[in-house]
Amino acid sequence: MRRLLFMSGILSGAALIAAQAAAQNYPWCANFADGAGTNCGFSSSEQCMATMMGSGGFCAQNNQYKPSAGAAPSRRQVRSRHARRAS
């Protein structure tokens, strides 16, 4: 019983860590000096630069950034596009 409880605790902890890591989907990363780490939680280069100011690190674009999908167009928008193409 202890073993099962221990394993379920480890699995739930790993799932929480994985969910938190996937949540940072922003286009800019701050790379801290001396290999102290990276933070990819910035939506603009200005925001990243303000954080890095005076620390000796640098900002770079996040090469793993994937923008979220926008809202699907309404049927009216799709129909008007098709009507414009036909004429």
Half-sphere exposure in the Cβ direction for 66 (13 Å, CA): 4
Identify the three-state secondary structure at position 27. coil
CB 15 within 8 A of CB 58: no
Q: Where are the domains of the chain?
A: 2-66
Out of 19-23, 39-43, 46-50, 71-75, least confident range? 19-23
Q: What is the pTM of this model?
A: 0.52
Q: Is the pLDDT of residue 61 over 90?
A: yes
37 φ/ψ sector (left φ>0, alpha ψ -120 to 50, else beta): left
Count of residues making up the chain: 87
Residue 28: which pLDDT band, with cuts at 50, 70 and 90? very high
The sign of the dihedral angle between the CA atoms of 56, 53, 23, 44 is: negative
Query: Residue 31 has what pLDDT?
Result: 94
